[in-house]
Each structure stands twice: as structure tokens, then as C-alpha cells.
Structure 1
Amino acid sequence: MPKNVLFIMCDQLRWDYLSCTGHPHLHTPHIDALAARGVLFDRAYVQSPICGPSRMSFYTGRYVSSHGSTWNGIPLKVGEMTLGDHLRPLGVRTALCGKTHMAADIEGLRRLGLSPDSEIGVLISECGFEPYERDDGLHPDGGPYARNSAYDAHMKDRGWQDENPWHSVANSAEDAEGNILSGWFLDHADKPARAADEDSETPYITGRAMDFIREAGDQPWCLHLSYIKPHWPYIVPAPYHDLYGPERHLDPVRSAAEKRDPHPVYGAFMQERVSQAFSDDATRGRVLTAYMGLIKQLDDQIGRLMAFLTEEGVADDTMIVFTSDHGDYLGDHWMGEKELFHDPSARIPMIVVDPSPEADATRGVKSSALVEAIDVVPTILDYFGGAAVPHIIEGRSLLPLLHGKAERLRDCVVSEYDYAQRDVRKRLGVEVKDAKLTMLFDGRWKYVFAEGFRPMLFDLESDPDELVDLGADPAHAPERARLEQLLFRWTRRTAQRTTISDAKIAASDATIGEATAGILIGYRNQDELREVLAAAGKGGEG
């Protein structure tokens, strides 16, 4: 039977808002069942805590500073290999249902004479995926994101004739007088969306994924099912809108001390409008009700999808990767959104179900190995039997962990963030080129290098909630120096030589190659040349 991969990504799903990762009130039995069938990687981190750069790292297997797509809307440059580029030569159909947040490198395509609507142009423009149905889930009127005409048509078929049903139906509520209450406004988060459950975005894109699987036939496939929730707008249909009232909300993880003398960059992010909103308990409570409902709806759809795989007879031949592109502060640390490196933002759920017998010994294991988003591409490539290409892919295959042949892959994880396009940069008076943050975490110490400012430092052993910044504490200067050296070593990696592997370079002999080509550099006479060629087994002619 052919092998398949179902690569499921949620948008803005925190690592700890699942019952299998410890949430006491939000029960997610279908996602928990995936963890029981596979390995739950409990310490997985994104390469950037913002949608676009994180996803480009997920799809390329490369760090942000390697692929260069440093923020939302910054194109992934033509020439960067993605998951589909690695899998298509293996005969694997690699397709997308849902979101990528990809911005096409139109200038690069034009420079190479490629049309964005040509066969190769489409693949480059869609992150290497065949766009079975792309839906980035952001369709505001007049906004920068393309409308999903297929979803519009679906809603019109269901009787909604609104000009933009994504906005006015799926992501809006309605009051008793018939007024539309936009889900963009946080005050409406605890109200039911106008759309029925089955017409809303999560069930819709699940159905489209099922359509793809039905149509795929016998060709091996890798489907990226990329949900656009529980990302904002925070609003969910009935009956999910009121399942989780305040009695089931967790208290925010934050302290007054964090506000007294924060790191300048952190302090500036606390001043953002979204952070101020989530610091208000009433607003936070309304959003949490919707956020938890969106996750519950998502879990129900995972159950629907898993039952479908079984009915189609492909469950035993399909690897499942379940993860998120980043987290959501939800008021923790006086923050809203994501973007910095506390665990609510940068740590993600990661579950991998390998159906092969080699993985039987690790089913149900919770692994504490440090894992990165860039590990997904080499894992899938390895699963399909593709050769490793470490000069291109910087992540590492998880199969040794899944098969019980290793307990760890690395000593630290790294995440990067470019805040040049945020108001924070302007408030701090930082130049575009210096608006950079880099986080290194070794399993205990989380170190954040902030260009132009002192570093941040957290000891997650004594301070698991990351409430005490030790970045200016003289007593921890040695620890900061050690971590800075680790980060410096990481920055010195060779990341851009992607056209030739280290192994090929190691196997070559430049001296002999030049000599046999007649390029004679440094030889004093022909006898010396004959000796070199003879020693290399090339004969003594010359």
C-alpha cells in the first residue's frame, strides 16, 4: 500500500490548551487519541512566533535567517526549496487545503521569465504545494488578503447572499434587532457566530480535505491541512460559543513585578493595543470563551477526519503530524497576540503518529526532547524514503525518536523575530536593520538576544512561568556569557551553500581535479606533477 502523510497545522493554538498537554477543563479526546497512537513532543518550538516566518520555516525546514521571509507579507524568495520540491521527485502528490500565509516572490518570478499562473509559477507562489484549496482565513473588505471564492460559493449555496459571508456570517454575530456584530471586535467574542457549525470554516476545510483524499487514488500523497482557527477573529458558532464560561478559564500567568522595570522591548510590546485589551479581565474572559470553543470544534473535526481515514482504508498507511504555527499569549505576561518568546507564544503542540511497526515501541510516549518546527520537513522526507539533504534542510528527522533509537536530537532550540514592521520599533527609536530578537533555549535557560539592548534571561527550572527576567542580574553574568557563545556558534553555521553538499565537497580533491584538468598551480616541474598523479592513481602522464 502507498504511504501518505496528513500534515495538520492549527493557527495560533497554544501548546497547553489541549487535555493531553495538561489543560484541566478543555477536553480534546480526538487530539488526545493521536497522542496515544504516536509521540507527543512536549518541548517543541517555532522558528519565529509570527505566522508567515514560522510557516516558511515549517515548509522549508530552514531557519528564518536562512530563508529570509522575516515577517508576514515578505516573500519567500524564488529558489528556496520547500516540502513539495523534496517530495515530488519521489512521486508524492503534495497538496494544500487551507492556509500558508505565503507571499509570492513576484519580482523573482518576473526576473526569471516565469508567469505566476504557469505550472511552475503556481507551485513557487504556493510554497511548493498544489493549491487544492488555499484559504488564509483573512478576508476583510478591502484588505490585503485574497477572498476565497470557493468558500463564498459554499455559503451562497447554503442560502447566504451576503457580499462577504466570511466576514458577515462566519465571523460575525447578530443582535436581537438584526444588527451585524463583527467578530473583529473582542466585545463580541462570546456571542454565537451567525453561521451554523457545519457551515463555518473549520468543518468546511475538513470537508475539503476529505474531498482531496477521496480523489487522490493510489498515488502517495502529502496533504497539508492548515486550519485557520483558533486564530482571530475570535468567534465560534453554537453550540461551542458558551461551552466554556469563566469557571473554566485559567487565571492569567503574570505578575505586577513584570511591569515595574521590564526589558525595553518587552515593555514596548506590553503597550500595544492588543496587550492592553488582554490585560482587561472582562475582555480576556470573553475571548477565552470563544478560543476554547474554537479548539473544541477543532477537536470534533479531527475526530470526524480520523473516522473518515478509517472508512477510506488509509488510516494504517498515513503518518499524521499535528501542530500549530505559534501560540497565543491570551493575557499572560500582560500580552496579547504572540511575537515574543515566552512559552505561551513560542512553544507549540507537536504530535506525530508514525503507522509503521518500527514506531510501535513509542506509542503514547511523551518526549522531552527539544524539537523545532524545521524538523517536520526532514521527518516527512525520511518517512517517504528520501535521501537526507542537510546542506539544504537545517531541521532533523524525528524518526530516530519515533522509532526509539534516540532520546534527543539537539542541545538547544533557536527562534528569531524581526519586529521592524511593528509600532514597537518606532516607539523605541530602533532602525529597521536592528529590530531583531533571537531566542536560544537549552531545556532550562531561555536567553533572548536583543540587538541594541541588554539580553533577557529566564531560568525555567526555578521559574517555569518565566516571571523573573535575569538578563540584568550580575549573579547570572556567567550563564549569559555561556548562552551568548552558544548563540554565536549557531550564527556561524553554513546556511546558504545549498547547491552542493558537505559530503560531495569532502569526497572531492581539488588538487587532483585541477591537475587532471591541466590547471597546474605551484608545480616546479613535470616530475613533481607525475608524482602527485601517480599517488592519486591517475597515472604519471602529464
Structure 2
Amino acid sequence: MRLHARLISALALLAFSTLVVSPLEVTAQSAKTSKPNIVVMLCDDIRYDALSCAGHPHLKTPHIDKLAAEGIYFENMFCTTSLCSPSRATILSGLYAHSHGVTNNFTDYPAELDSFPRRLQAAGYQTAYIGKWHMGEKNDQPRPGFDYFVTHKGQGQYFDTEFNLNGKERKVVEGYYTTVVTDMSLDWMKKQSDDKPFMLMIGQKAPHSFYYPEPKYEHAFDHVEVNYPHSSFQLGDKPRWITQRLMTWHGIYGPLFDWRNQFPDDKASAVVDFAKMVRAYWGTILSVDDSVGRLVEYLNETGELDNTMFVFMGDNGLLEGEHGMVDKRTAHEGSLRVPMIIRYPGWTKSPVRITKQVLTTDVAPTILDAAGAEPLKNIHGQSIRPLVSGDVDQWRTEWLYYYNYEKQFPYTPNVRAVRGDRFKYIRYPHGDGSKDRHMAELYDMQADPAESTNLVHDAKHAATIAEMERRLIRAMKAVGLDQESDRMPIDQGIGSELPDESIR
């Protein structure tokens, strides 16, 4: 009997010992479960409508669509400057370009400037950046805020890019870019400890020019008829600079990022070159969707998916022939609208569609809010969390968009625009304080989302124009700009020369 009692006691003690966890382990486990992992996939030059969940008639993106079906879809997401480096710096900092200082594609993110990765790192996150950084063309060294950093100089290549692996070695990694950075991302996640949350940013090259789809997708859209948009031939009420741009590097009759060998070419038959370019652009996005699928599958298999905020987004949009233009930079919808989807069950377990105007300045504070990390100070953005719960009364109803003329890419003037919930008003200051030399643009975005009719000379909208002028001044002041502090280069006119090959 005593032996039996001792046996029971021993078994009970053994069972208890398997359940008891040290205080340090409890702290580590609670920190892990209370803070979500963060995965941010940042695509380069992806259009807001280049997803099947956004209504694209030909692109099928089932993995990205699933994120939208289970998370938060942003119907009106915008960048504040439609240019890669300024927009990426805004995503990291929550600031407009004049505040973070990255106003062109040749300036690196300031080493002393705070960012959401730095705040997450300080909050105990394991942090990594893998892929296209594109701030500081010739610098591929690790940047502050990241425990692990893999990138390359310049734009990188769709095939066999030379990467700098965490500052320790440079080597050409064979394979298709999107697949390679996905492999690297999965490898890094598999090496992370279980007692700390992680934040991973993935900088996809796709779908940036020059467009080269993965071999399996090279002919995915050969059957699709592609034409110049109707708006390409309806430029009578547009500023003259848009017509001047037609034959340039950023116009539909130009070289089309090497898809047209003989240029300029405004013959009807030249639309064949435009169609090939567009189909290739779409093809690169199919591989991005595959990447999302692989990452989500891994997170699901490891039980981390529902404890992860997965952010899918673009840095800026891309004009796909609208008004005769390719590339970005302008204040037209195809240029400044970007896709963003956030899957995070911690905030919503059913799909939500956000119709309010959300900006790239809002990304950093949103991520820090979800992580419970110390917020960035004196920034221009705000967390979207109130929108998820339906609290929209205090949200913005207007915002400033701007772009500064570049001598290296002289195809777009200085742009200063205000976009309200209904009207968009665009001005083109010369840069020396003199009167604008380009016609302004006014669009009713509710009645005319394609921006087909410029209302700036419509007498019926005189009061609207005056109101939008006031709103533009107000939007500038809201981010710390006025006529004296708004430094912009002198507009030296629309050029026809090609940009240097090293910066294309």
C-alpha cells in the first residue's frame, strides 16, 4: 500500500514538473504571443488595380485575393510622392519627403532618422530586410533598424542578381528575383527563435521595369488584346506638357523601356510594342502572387499565421498609357494610387473594406500600433486602427500630393496637388515663385474617376477651383509647408533625351 502511494506521488510530481515553466520562460512566451509578427511585402511600381481582387479583367492573383478576403482591403490607398525612394522613405518614417529628406531616387535614407523598424527592434523584435531597398543607388550595405539585411546596388535584375548578404559577402544568386528573395525570406524565418516576435520586410523588384516575367509566365497573356487607352487620344483639355511627353522616355510613343526598338513611333501599328510591354508587366505580378502564397503557407504550417500582421502593398503606382503616359510621378490616379491589403486577425476576423483616403504616411504608425511599440514622434501619418472599427469621423478629407522636377528625368513638371474625397486639383509651379506656366487640372473624382474631363476652365466650377486653392494651401500647411518653405527645383522644360542607362 505504501509502495502504491509512493508510486502515485512520484507520477504526480513527474506530471507537475512537465507543466511547470520557469519565470523567464513565461516572460518570453507571453512576450511572443502578445506581440504579432510583422511581414511587409513591398512591390515596386504595382498599380492599384493590378490584382484580381481589385477587379482586373485578366490578372489572377488568388493568394493575394485570399489576404483581402480574410483581412482589410484599402480601396483608396495613395502615395504622397509617386517615386520609389521618396515613397519608401515615407513608408519607413511616416513623414513627407521634405521632412525625411529623400526627395529623389539618388538619396539614401538618413542614418540618424527614426523608423518603424528601429522602434520594433527596440521593442524586442528580430528584424530583417530582404530584397530591393532602392535608397542610395550605389549603397548595398546594411542599414540601421535591421538585424539582418540583404540587398543589392541599384535596381537589381530579374535574373541572377548580385546580392550583398548582410554586409559579409557579395555573390550572384542564380534564379528569378522574386523566387530568390522568397527563398531567402523563408530561410531567415526558419532560423528565428521562438521566444521573440519578428518583423520581415521583403522588397520585391516586380513589377518594376524593365519587365521580364518568369519563364513559366512569359506567354500567360499572349491571348489578351491590349490597346492604347482612349484617354491617350483625348488630350485637348490637358496641359501641353502631357502632349510633349508622348514622344519621350515616359510617353507611349517612346522606347517603352526597351520594348520598342525604333522610336518615337506614333503609327497605329506601334501599339504592338505597347501590348508586349503591358503583358510582360502583368506576367511579373503572377510570380509575386506565388511568393505571397509560399510565405502564407509557411506561416500557416508553423502556426504563426494568425499571430502575424501581413501587409501587402506597393510603393507607388504606374501609368499604363493613361493620357498617353507610362511610368509614374504625376498626380493622376494611375500614378499615385497603390494597392494595400492587411491581414491581421488581431484587429479583424472578418473582411473589411476601407473607403477613406489612406496614405503611405500611415503605414509606420499602423504597424507600431499593432505591435504595441513606442510610436514615432511628430510624423504626418496615423494608425488606421480607428477605421477598422468604423470610427471615421476624424479621418482626413483632403491631403497633399507633390513631386519635384528631375533634371535626370525631365518629362514631368513640379507637381503640387490636393485630393479631396470628391475633387482633385493639380498645379504645376515653375519653381522660381513666378506664375505657373502649365494649365492646372480639376477633376470630379466621383463623376469622372478616369479623369477624362479637365474642369479647370469650366465657369460652373469657378467656386470649386477657389475652394480647392484654399484646400491646397491648407493641405500644405498641415505637413509644414508654405510658399517660403516649399523648396522645389526650377522647371527646365520637357526634354526628349533618354536618361542615362545607369539610372533607368
Q: After superposition, where does 1:290-439 map in structure 2 within 5 Å?
A: 290-356=280-346, 358-360=347-349, 363-389=350-376, 391-406=377-392, 409-424=395-410, 436-439=414-417
Return the offset for 1:248: 5.4
Superposed CA deviations along residues 58-109 of structure 1, whole A, max 9, x for unmatched, are 1110111222211100233343211222222211223201122112999xxx
Identity over the aligned pairs, expressed in percent? Answer: 29
Instruction: Give the Cα separation in 1 of the matches to 2:405 and 2:304.
Output: 43
Greater helix share, 1 or 2?
1
Kindly indicate whether the alpha-carbon contact (under 8 Å) linking 1:269 and 1:424 is maintained by their aligned counterparts in 2.
no
Q: Which amino acid aligns with 1:32?
A: D
Kindly indicate whether the alpha-carbon contact (under 8 Å) linking 2:316 and 2:335 is maintained by their aligned counterparts in 1.
yes
Q: Secondary structure at the match of 1:5?
A: strand
Q: Which amino acid aligns with 1:302?
A: V
Question: For residues 15 and 335 of structure 1, do their structure 2 counterparts lie closer, same or farther at Cα, with a shift above 3 Å needed?
Answer: same
Which residue matches 1:500? Answer: none
Which residue matches 2:80? Answer: 47
Which residue matches 1:466? Answer: 451
Which residue matches 2:57? Answer: 24
Superposed CA deviations along residues 475-500 of structure 1, whole A, max 9, x for unmatched, are 3222122112112122223659xxxx
Which of 215, 219, 223 aligns to 1:238? It is 215
Kindly indicate whether the alpha-carbon contact (under 8 Å) linking 2:237 and 2:454 is maintained by their aligned counterparts in 1.
no
Kindly indicate whether the alpha-carbon contact (under 8 Å) linking 1:268 and 1:424 is maintained by their aligned counterparts in 2.
no
Instruction: Give the Cα separation in 1 of the matches to 2:422 and 2:120.
Output: 36
Instruction: Give the Cα separation in 1 of the matches to 2:77 and 2:163.
Output: 31
Choose 209-218 or 403-412, whichever is displaced more: 403-412
Kindly indicate whether the alpha-carbon contact (under 8 Å) linking 2:48 and 2:339 is maintained by their aligned counterparts in 1.
yes
Kindly indicate whether the alpha-carbon contact (under 8 Å) linking 2:151 and 2:164 is maintained by their aligned counterparts in 1.
no
Q: Secondary structure at the match of 2:231?
A: coil
Kindly indicate whether the alpha-carbon contact (under 8 Å) linking 2:121 and 2:146 is maintained by their aligned counterparts in 1.
no
Q: Which runs of 5+ in 1 are unaligned?
A: 107-115, 141-145, 156-198, 429-434, 497-542
Instruction: Give the Cα separation in 2 of the matches to 1:442 and 1:35.
Output: 25
Question: For residues 19 and 253 of structure 1, do their structure 2 counterparts lie closer, same or farther at Cα, with a shift above 3 Å needed?
Answer: farther
Kindly indicate whether the alpha-carbon contact (under 8 Å) linking 2:422 and 2:444 is maintained by their aligned counterparts in 1.
yes
Which residue matches 2:201? Answer: 224
Instruction: Give the Cα separation in 2 of the matches to 1:233 and 1:105.
Output: 19
Kindly indicate whether the alpha-carbon contact (under 8 Å) linking 1:455 and 1:472 is maintained by their aligned counterparts in 2.
no
Superposed CA deviations along residues 216-239 of structure 1, whole A, max 9, x for unmatched, are 213212111111001111111222
Which residue matches 1:88? Answer: 121
Kindly indicate whether the alpha-carbon contact (under 8 Å) linking 1:41 and 1:349 is maintained by their aligned counterparts in 2.
yes
Which residue matches 1:247? Answer: 224
Q: Give the TM-score of the pair, scaled to structure 2.
A: 0.77
Instruction: Give the Cα separation in 1 of the matches to 2:223 and 2:457.
Output: 37
Which residue matches 1:64? Answer: 97
Question: For residues 254 and 487 of structure 1, do their structure 2 counterparts lie closer, same or farther at Cα, with a shift above 3 Å needed?
Answer: same
Which residue matches 2:173? Answer: 154
Q: Which amino acid aligns with 2:113?
A: E
Return the offset for 1:205: 0.4
Instruction: Give the Cα separation in 1 of the matches to 2:313 and 2:49.
Output: 12
Superposed CA deviations along residues 259-302 of structure 1, whole A, max 9, x for unmatched, are x3531443343342231235741111101221111111211221
Which of 270, 273, 281 aligns to 2:246? It is 270
Instruction: Give the Cα separation in 2 of the matches to 1:99 and 1:392.
Output: 28
Question: For residues 97 and 492 of structure 1, do their structure 2 counterparts lie closer, same or farther at Cα, with a shift above 3 Å needed?
Answer: same
Instruction: Give the Cα separation in 1 of the matches to 2:147 and 2:241.
Output: 39
Which residue matches 2:25? Answer: none
Kindly indicate whether the alpha-carbon contact (under 8 Å) linking 2:137 and 2:153 is maintained by their aligned counterparts in 1.
no
Alignment of 1:205 with 2:181, yes or no, is yes
Question: For residues 445 and 405 of structure 1, do their structure 2 counterparts lie closer, same or farther at Cα, with a shift above 3 Å needed?
Answer: closer
Superposed CA deviations along residues 16-60 of structure 1, whole A, max 9, x for unmatched, are 111100112211111000001111001000011111111111111
Instruction: Give the Cα separation in 1 of the matches to 2:238 and 2:318.
Output: 20
Q: Secondary structure at the match of 2:379?
A: coil
Question: For residues 93 and 337 of structure 1, do their structure 2 counterparts lie closer, same or farther at Cα, with a shift above 3 Å needed?
Answer: same
Which residue matches 2:149? Answer: 132
Kindly indicate whether the alpha-carbon contact (under 8 Å) linking 2:242 and 2:323 is maintained by their aligned counterparts in 1.
no
Q: Which runs of 5+ in 2 are unaligned?
A: 1-32, 257-265, 431-435, 482-504
Kindly indicate whether the alpha-carbon contact (under 8 Å) linking 2:111 and 2:143 is maintained by their aligned counterparts in 1.
no
Q: Which amino acid aligns with 1:381?
A: L
Q: Give the TM-score of the pair, scaled to structure 1.
A: 0.72
Instruction: Give the Cα separation in 2 of the matches to 1:32 and 1:414.
Output: 30
Alignment of 1:479 with 2:464, yes or no, is yes
Question: For residues 221 and 290 of structure 1, do their structure 2 counterparts lie closer, same or farther at Cα, with a shift above 3 Å needed?
Answer: same
Q: Which amino acid aligns with 1:29?
A: P
Which residue matches 1:447? Answer: 425
